[in-house]
Amino acid sequence: MALREAAAAASQGEVPVGAVVVRDGRVIGRAHNMRETLRDPTAHAEMIALTQAAEAIEAWRLDGAVVYVTLEPCCMCAGALVLARVSRLLYGAADPKAGACGTLYNIVCDPRLNHCVEVTAGVMAEESRELLQQFFRQRRDNQQ
């Protein structure tokens, strides 16, 4: 489902990242990147999906929620996962330039913070990476 969201982002000219929030076996949030569309630097897939999830359960605390995302969250999104008290994160491709869930930083499990998110990295990483590589390859080709 997160990969489908990422593909939808790519079809709209957005960096192909998709996120899905599940709680008690029910999807309560799903989104893809919309920074270009909304002209909003915070419109990452995770941020939009977390907002939808909070609205769906009418609470900002998302304890018990599992977030699936195609790309390792950045500092902003990792911080939001901690602040929302998300229980678990599963992500696809690691992000060597901005990853904040174990690659560059480890915000989601920093012992100085009041919450730690359980992380599973590399879930469908190849499919996620391929979507990103294809998107950026097409952008480079179109610029030439």
DSSP string, 69-125: EEE---HHHHHHHHHTT--EEEEEE--TTT-TBTTS-BGGG-TTSS---EEEE-TTH
- 107-112-117-121 Cα dihedral, nearest 10 degrees: 40
Q: Is 85 left (phi over 0), alpha (psi -120 to 50) or beta?
A: left
CA neighbor of 63 nearest in space, from 130, 115, 120: 115
Q: What is the pLDDT of residue 142?
A: 85
Helix (H, G, I), strand (E, B) or coil at 15: coil
Task: Find, among 35, 39, 41, 29, the residue nearest to 17 by Cα.
Answer: 35
By annotation, the residues acting in catalysis are: 46
Residues of the chain with pLDDT under 70: 144
pLDDT of 112 reads: 97
pLDDT at 133: 97
User: Which among 76, 68, 125, 72 is positioned nearest to 101, based on CA atoms?
Assistant: 72
In this prediction, residue 125 carries a pLDDT of 98
